[in-house]
Amino acid sequence: MNNIKDVRFKELLKELAAEFLNRASTRSALLTVTNIELSPDQRRATILLSVMPREKEHGAVDFANRHRNEFFEYIKKHSKLRFLPHIEFAPDLGEQNRQRIDELLATE
């Protein structure tokens, strides 16, 4: 039962993060929310981002982390969540590795 709540919570955070970043970003890079990593006690959430072009990844993740307080306010305004975890944005290294494997396989 708890697993279903976690999935719903992650999906809601993912949707809200995507909407917020779409509104707040300068559109100099394409930001995609790929996954949410949630601690077992739901006190910490890491929102994983895929950034294109890859050269702008560091700046885009810094941008997202600088706007965390605004994101909290956005969550409060657009959801009925009572408890908000500590949120961090990070690059999705798994997605980068998958893309690199695809590139390597395409060259063979």
pLDDT reported for residue 2: 66
pTM, two decimal places: 0.84
Q: How far apart are CA 94 and CA 71, in angstroms?
A: 24
In the numeric block, the tokens 């961090």 are attached to 88
Q: What is the pLDDT of residues 15-44, one digit of tens each?
A: 999 999 999 887 788 889 999 999 988 899
CA 83 to chain centre: 18
Domain ranges of the chain: 2-107
**pLDDT over 80 (residue 95):** no
Burial class for 99, CB neighbours closer than 10 Å (0-12, 13-18, 19+)? middle
- The pLDDT mean for the chain works out to 88
pLDDT reported for residue 1: 42
Into which CATH architecture does domain 2-107 fall?
Answer: 2-Layer Sandwich (3.30)
